[in-house]
Amino acid sequence: MPTDASVPPRVRASDELRQAALEQFATVGFAASSLQQIADHAGYSKSSVLYHYASKEALLEAAIGPSIDRLESLLGDFVAGGRSAAAQAVFIERFVDFLLGNRLAVHTFVNQGQSLRGLPVIERANTAIRGLADSICADDASLAEQMRFGVALAGATYTLVAGATFLDDDEQQFADADVRDALISVLSELLLTADGRPTR
Amino acid sequence: MPTDASVPPRVRASDELRQAALEQFATVGFAASSLQQIADHAGYSKSSVLYHYASKEALLEAAIGPSIDRLESLLGDFVAGGRSAAAQAVFIERFVDFLLGNRLAVHTFVNQGQSLRGLPVIERANTAIRGLADSICADDASLAEQMRFGVALAGATYTLVAGATFLDDDEQQFADADVRDALISVLSELLLTADGRPTR
DNA sequence: GTCTATACTGTGATAGAC
DNA sequence: GTCTATCACAGTATAGAC
């Protein structure tokens, strides 16, 4: 902690490096990202990166770990709260907010979740996503129900996170608040089980 | 063409190498795939790979190019056929069949479409997907409508192609025919505009 | 804390023997 | 057509100056 109370809002080097790494991992992929590129992007040398983070893996852990913590917490709350329609609605809202607030990290572990299998932080992410599927979907759900779930969550995730591929630049400019409302609407339609939707 | 009419059904080396490359690209990513790994996986040497394909890029082109051709053809038919509900229903069916028949290639260019931006074959894929969004979605569509489209196609694509992340192993064992029906059902519900679905 | 210098490994690609 | 040998280069990581 700084001795001067009016410390300038200068960000710490480790934070700059972590942010630069996250952007690289999300846009060009973990394997294709070099420590040199990350260092250049943040304005440091390659060795400085390895001073703050012991390895490239450690940098990945620092970059996406907090987002996975948040996802696990989100899931824990939902499991504890039961599967009522009201609880599901709350969860949908929080899930969309999570996606909006963690785009780069989500993009990283969703798109590369299987190519990076074996790294501890990635295993944690995959386990959380698996648990998400199990808890929101009833045990005796039909294949159509499971597909509905898969399309909803995967579609929402992918639309938000890699939307640039599927939507034009115009759509990218919509305010987050509008995107949030539209996504919650579509997800509710697909996931809420309270109404008398036909099973098939 | 062989001089012997009863030529054995032995696959050609270039085909074996292309298939091995496709599997590597889809599972560990293009950047993380080495020519050595691909060669080992197919039972050849690294130099043999570079004899059949001039470069790693050329190998990617050969691996996913045909699938992109098919996607472009699919899209061309749809644009030519109009946007009636019947035409949309036909398109949905063909799109799901395309996904089922081209899982590895689709996985590759969907998951790495932006990290590999610049490669000609990837640009072709991204352009096709962009055109897909523009043509199935009405020009004056609301954000909610656009989200519905994005969630549907992205969700279907991702569910089929990287389903292992979101569904358990059990679901992976469902017959493709059942998965096909379930997916068509969910997509129809989200995309068909004939019924009096509320705009918001 | 940040840098330069360096070690070592593995990469994509080429040349040439067979 | 397939191989071994080799190249130039980029990758992660370490050691040590300041």
Q: Are B33 and B24 in contact (CB under 8 A)?
A: yes
Range scoring the smallest mean pLDDT among A143-147, B3-7, B31-35: B3-7
**Across all residues in chain B, what is the average pLDDT?**
86
Distance CA B42, CA B22 (A): 11
| Residue B10, pLDDT above cutoff 70 | no
- The C-alpha angle A74, A75, A78, rounded to 5 degrees, equals 90
Q: ∠ at Cα A131 (A127, A135), nearest 5°?
A: 180
Per residue in A176-199, pLDDT tens?
A: 888 999 999 999 999 886 444 444
Q: Is the pLDDT of residue B189 over 50?
A: yes
Rounding to the nearest 10 degrees, give the CA dihedral for residues A144, A146, A152, A158.
-120
- Report the b/e string of B29-52 with b at 16+ CB within 10 A: bbbbbebeebbebbebeeebbeeb
pLDDT tens-digit profile of B56-90?
Answer: 999 999 999 999 999 999 999 998 988 888 999 99
pLDDT computed for residue A135 by the predictor:
78
Between positions 153 and 172 of A, the ones with CB within 8 A of B are: 153-159, 162-168, 171
**Upper half-sphere CA count for residue A186 (Cβ side, 13 Å):** 34
Q: Is the CB of B80 under 7 A from strand C?
A: no
| Percent of chain A with pLDDT strictly greater than 70 | 84
CA distance A78 to A82: 7
User: Which of A145, A151, A169 should one mutate to test binding to chain B, selecting the residue with the greatest count of B CBs within 10 A?
Assistant: A151
Which residues neighbour A76 within 8 Å (Cβ) at sequence distance 6 or greater?
none
Q: What is the pLDDT of residue A91?
A: 94
pLDDT on residue B57: 98
Q: Residue A28: CB partners within 8 Å, gap ≥ 6?
A: A37, B31, B115
pLDDT for residue A1: 46
Residue A119 has pLDDT above 80, yes or no: yes
